[in-house]
Amino acid sequence: MPFSGKGHHLMAIKGLMIAGLASGSGKTMVTLGLLRALLRRGVAVSAAKTGPDYIDAGFLSAACGSKTVNLDQFAMSKPLLAALAAAQDGEMLVAEGVMGLFDGATGNAGSSAALAEALDIPVILVMDVRHTAQTAAMVAAGIAALLPAGRIAGVILNHVASARHLSLVREALAQHEIPLFGAVPSRNGLVVPSRHLGLVQAADFDKGGLDQIIDHAADLIRDNCDLDLILSAASPLPHTQTSSSPSPRTIINKASPALSRPSVPAPAQIIAVADDAAFGFSYHHILAGWRQQGAEIRCFSPLNDEAPAPDADFIFLPGGYPELHLPALSTRAGFFAGLATAAKANIPIYGECGGFMTLGTGIIDANGNRFQMAGLLELETSFAAKKRHLGYRKFIPLEGFFWDGPFLGHEFHYTSPIAASGTPLFAAEDASGRSLGKVGLRKNAVAGSYLHIIAAASA
């Protein structure tokens, strides 16, 4: 076997990417199944998700048994990407792509192809062949010709209808010297239900139900893909490519230059982080970076009416799905009292997207019902007239924020503020540099915006 779970490495040595031609190609199902199938074989494997996707990351974490890191080529420098990829548990990192291989911001920034180039890892294309045969091979060959030699390691076919169908595609792939790693037949029961911001969260399933989905996917990958061939396709991650590169233990114990510049500096010594089904959108790399800098992370659940730790020096309310829990959340008096006490004591409180909305006076749901929130910012938000706000963002903090910035991040929400007053928090631009004006709010030590920070621009 090219890899073995024996001799477990602290940090990832090799990696590969599972990508697709479009959303819905099956790359998430294939990645979930591959991760679980490799674990069953004793391979020490971890996962990464391309771009700012919290939802898929939760499923990938469940499949491989360790936290999935988001790797974003738009917001992260090559040294930071390399350091984060190498710092993952196990000996092999499997990265799932996002949307189509080349889809991203201006100039393909943030795309799966751009991340694969930054990490110099091979790509296995998942191709949905329900309505095509030989043409799929031509598409794969054309993409391979656009990229450096060897970047496209091969393909996994999804939704193969019959042995004849497979034979047609396989012969065409062989003519263009495109390796075939597997062919998954069309089956029912592998689709995770959709929601307005993507997949249902992994936390929405009971563990048995989620494991059943992942194990079903793993069975399909085991039975229909060549795991040995897939393992042999993985290539060294950047920190292992030269004999002069530091060992993984050296990087984690002594801190490489990339890791010594965290994606976001730790804001305090004791940081209280909201973490439950309503506030699950915190980036693993940011929290891990704060811990690495010596900060103590204390998680609490607003839905369980838990207040932030009374001795916290900083309180972080990440994004999530508070709109799915408004009747319960609005009655959590202990949670709101804890926030009010901290605000009165000038303890910094920072909210992103759903956390930002919760810091406001109220949230109006899609049916027009209003639910009282913390009331620490003069902000009223509403789902009644949905409008999607989506894209990468560049933003500079205005006076009074907790960090200097500038930052790179993203925005993805459907609510709109129907009333907002106070001191703006950021001056923002989209990925192309077009000004979006001033966004977010700050009031004394309480601040927030719809923007999600991925990394400081200098990281």
Q: What is the dihedral of CA 400, 401, 406, 410, to 10 degrees?
A: -140
DSSP code at position 186: P
The region that residue 400 occupies, defined by phi over 0 for left and psi between -120 and 50 for alpha, beta otherwise, is: left
Q: Single out the residue of 147, 159, 52, 155 nearest to residue 98, CA to CA.
A: 52
DSSP code at position 307: P
- Contact assessment for residue 273 and residue 280, using Cβ atoms and an 8 Å cutoff: no
Beta strands in 112-264 (DSSP E): 123-128, 152-160, 180-185, 194-195, 198-199, 235-236
Q: Kindly tell me the sign of the dihedral angle through the C-alpha atoms of 103, 106, 107, 113.
A: negative
CA distance 10 to 319: 30
Task: Look up residue 261 and give its two tokens.
Answer: 């510049």
Active site residue 353: yes
- Contact assessment for residue 306 and residue 336, using Cβ atoms and an 8 Å cutoff: no
∠ Cα 49 55 58 (to 5°): 75
CA distance 166 to 275: 45
Task: Look up residue 361 and give its two tokens.
Answer: 């006076």
Helix ranges (H only) for 87-206 are 112-119, 134-146, 163-175
H or E element: which one contains 69? strand 69-71
Q: Single out the residue of 54, 63, 45, 62 nearest to residue 8, CA to CA.
A: 45
CA distance 344 to 152: 56
Count Cβ atoms below 10 Å from residue 271 Cβ, excluding itself. Answer: 24
CA distance readout (Å), 333 to 162, 175, 262, 340: 58, 67, 35, 10
How large is the greatest C-alpha to C-alpha distance in the chain, in angstroms?
71
Active-site amino acid positions: 353
